């Protein structure tokens, strides 16, 4: 509420300039500090709990950090430039490597996408995740070829996508109406030669983790020219001449991808999907893509953000948030407008709205891995694969939005199992069940402060209006309001069997949970 009040009186333009100016709240220092605790180790290995520290850091920053738009942008980027440290993945063993990657996205969220591509490519996290760590040039004697994994996914997922796009994100089609593919396998094998000769920052290419300076795990990768392909590298109508070294080759490759005409609309559409609406119209994509390509955007107060250089993230994010399609009543009241709030965002929203007491995720086991269907079915930096939890092109079969042809990525997570899972996950937090069933520090972790809501418990209509401001931002339907009010009216304020029972708390909890499970909350419009 304090945040809402702080915004009142200042213009939206001022707000976003302030957000852009806020210093970044990072993750690595927290994780390194946790890892240096004596109890973070069991023998030679890091404990299971210590391996979760990047997740703890994510929750703490998402809930408590002042640079909210930056954290939110970094989370959006983490769903495009995906790494995952879900248990079972190699990265689960390297929490500092994951935190270093988180910081690349947080630090550069309001920088330039070209820098993001550079830092991501040289990050140990991506090199481990997409297996170009210690990737070598071809060996004609054995027939060994460079690993193609990163070459393929940096094109398909991080920069240009599979089919040629118009500036507005619509596919370019050939004479027979077919989409034109942006690359074929020869482009992949050509580009794969570029990402050879990269290893951790130490003397040896084939380094043994046990004997390395731990700082190498969270430092920029080092190039080893003797393991880098000396062959010419041809991809996307670009040829890097034979004998070009690793750094120059990588620079040329990233420039080629960065300057490809697909990149602005490819990224613009996905960023709109992460913030505003699942199936943006092509004019909206076009305007955001233009802001990305020109690197500047004019705010409503006529000030300009962005440095005027292609890839500027401030111009891009401002264009996403300030577009008429994001703000006008006509646009937002359309039947095909809106997005399913991401489950991770819903939980963070709750924790922020009700000042959840001690933000100590280490003491709340259910926050360690929320990617299971009985939790949130989504966890920060814990996607099942590089394809994220849902695909930007997902059209949900058997639904009305699907019948209308709308892409609604987050519906990929919605089903009989996850609907109940989410409600039960939130029930634990909303009703402060930890206080009832846990002991010590676990009993005080994430306990909500309903001091603003409890006084409204005897006036269900007032309570519901208050929650409409806090959670649905005035979009709660009359049907949902009536449903909540009628239910609360059947909960007596005092329990005749138990004079100590506090049914005011029960009423507030019910109203919060009912709001957060209603379709008009689950869908952000």
Contact 236, 256 (CB under 8 A): yes
| Smallest distance, other proteins to C-beta of residue 388, A | 10
339 sits near other proteins (criterion: CB under 8 A): yes
The residue from 35, 69, 267, 406 that contacts other proteins (CB under 8 A) is: 406
461 sits near other proteins (criterion: CB under 8 A): no
387 sits near other proteins (criterion: CB under 8 A): yes
Give the count of alpha carbons within 13 A of 402, CB side only. Answer: 10
- The stretch among 100-108, 116-124, 286-294, 476-484 that binds other proteins (CB under 8 A) is 476-484
Q: Which is nearer to other proteins, 40 or 188 (CB)?
A: 188
Q: Which is nearer to other proteins, 167 or 384 (CB)?
A: 384
DSSP code of residue 233? E
DSSP code of residue 157? I
**Under rule CB under 8 A, which residues in 422-441 are in contact with other proteins?**
423-424, 427, 431
**Under rule CB under 8 A, which residues in 283-322 are in contact with other proteins?**
none
What SS3 state is found at 4?
A: helix
Give the count of alpha carbons within 13 A of 272, CB side only. Answer: 36
| Smallest distance, other proteins to C-beta of residue 148, A | 4
385 closest CA partner among 89, 53, 75: 89
DSSP code of residue 238? E
* Rounded (10°) CA dihedral 473, 477, 481, 483: -140
The residue from 202, 369, 412, 444 that contacts other proteins (CB under 8 A) is: 412
Q: Which is nearer to other proteins, 144 or 469 (CB)?
A: 144
DSSP 291-306: HHHH--EE-TTS-EES
- The stretch among 23-31, 258-266, 280-288, 399-407 that binds other proteins (CB under 8 A) is 399-407
34 sits near other proteins (criterion: CB under 8 A): no
What SS3 state is found at 143?
A: coil
514 sits near other proteins (criterion: CB under 8 A): yes
- 411 by Cβ neighbours in 10 Å (0-12 / 13-18 / 19+) ranks as buried
Give the count of alpha carbons within 13 A of 170, CB side only. Answer: 10
234 sits near other proteins (criterion: CB under 8 A): no
Residue span 144-183 as binding mask against other proteins, x where in contact by CB under 8 A, dash where not: xxxxxx--x---x-----x----------------x-x--
With a CB cutoff of 8 Å and minimum separation 6, the contacts of 407 are 273, 278, 279, 392, 393, 394, 395
- The stretch among 141-149, 197-205, 309-317, 456-464 that binds other proteins (CB under 8 A) is 141-149
- The stretch among 63-71, 231-239, 417-425, 441-449 that binds other proteins (CB under 8 A) is 417-425
The residue from 55, 278, 290, 296 that contacts other proteins (CB under 8 A) is: 278
- The stretch among 140-148, 267-275, 302-310, 311-319 that binds other proteins (CB under 8 A) is 140-148
């Amino acid at each position: 509420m304090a945040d809402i009040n702080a915004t009142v009186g200042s213009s939206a333009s001022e707000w976003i300039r302030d957000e852009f100016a806020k210093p970044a709240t990072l993750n690595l220092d927290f994780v390194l500090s946790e890892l240096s605790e004596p109890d973070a180790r069991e023998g030679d290995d890091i404990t299971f709990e210590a391996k979760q520290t990047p997740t703890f850091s994510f929750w703490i920053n998402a809930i408590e950090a002042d640079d909210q738009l930056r954290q939110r942008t970094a989370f959006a980027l983490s769903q495009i430039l995906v790494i995952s440290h879900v248990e079972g993945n190699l990265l689960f063993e390297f929490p500092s490597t994951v935190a270093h990657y988180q910081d690349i996205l947080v630090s550069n969220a309001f920088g330039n996408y070209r820098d993001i591509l550079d830092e991501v490519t040289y990050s140990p996290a991506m090199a481990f995740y997409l297996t170009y760590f210690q990737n070598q040039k071809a060996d004609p004697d054995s027939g060994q070829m460079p690993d193609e994994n990163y070459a393929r996914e940096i094109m398909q997922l991080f920069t240009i996508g599979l089919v040629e796009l118009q500036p507005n994100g619509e596919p370019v089609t050939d004479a027979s109406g077919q989409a034109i593919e942006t690359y074929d396998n020869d482009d992949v094998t050509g580009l794969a030669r570029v990402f050879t000769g990269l290893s951790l920052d130490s003397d040896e290419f084939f380094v043994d983790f046990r004997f390395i300076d731990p700082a190498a795990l969270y430092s920029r990768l080092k190039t080893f020219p003797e393991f880098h392909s000396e062959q010419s590298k041809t991809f996307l109508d670009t040829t890097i001449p034979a004998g070009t070294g690793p750094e120059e080759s990588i620079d040329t490759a990233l420039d080629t991808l960065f300057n490809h005409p697909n990149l602005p609309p490819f990224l613009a559409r996905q960023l709109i999907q992460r913030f505003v609406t699942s199936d943006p119209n092509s004019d909206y994509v076009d305007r955001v893509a233009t802001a990305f390509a020109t690197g500047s955007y004019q705010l409503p107060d006529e000030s300009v953000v962005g440095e005027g250089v292609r890839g500027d993230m401030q111009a891009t994010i401002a264009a996403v948030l300030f577009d008429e399609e994001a703000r006008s009543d006509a646009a937002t009241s359309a039947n095909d407008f809106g997005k399913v709030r991401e489950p991770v965002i819903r939980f963070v929203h709750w924790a922020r709205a009700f000042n959840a007491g001690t933000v100590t995720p280490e003491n709340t086991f259910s926050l360690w891995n929320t990617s299971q269907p009985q939790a949130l079915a989504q966890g920060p930096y814990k996607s099942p694969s590089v394809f994220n939890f849902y695909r930007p092109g997902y059209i949900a079969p058997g639904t009305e939005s699907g019948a209308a042809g709308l892409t609604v990525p987050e519906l990929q997570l919605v089903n009989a199992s996850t609907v109940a899972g989410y409600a039960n996950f939130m029930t634990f937090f909303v009703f402060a069940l930890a206080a009832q069933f846990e002991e010590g520090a676990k009993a005080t972790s994430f306990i909500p402060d309903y001091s603003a809501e409890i006084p409204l418990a005897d006036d269900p209509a007032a309570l519901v209006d208050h929650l409409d401001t806090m959670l649905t931002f005035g979009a709660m339907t009359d049907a949902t309001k009536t449903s909540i009010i009628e239910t609360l009216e059947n909960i007596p304020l005092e329990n005749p069997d138990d004079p100590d029972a506090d049914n005011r708390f029960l009423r507030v909890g019910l109203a919060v949970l009912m709001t957060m499970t209603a379709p008009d909350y689950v869908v952000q419009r």
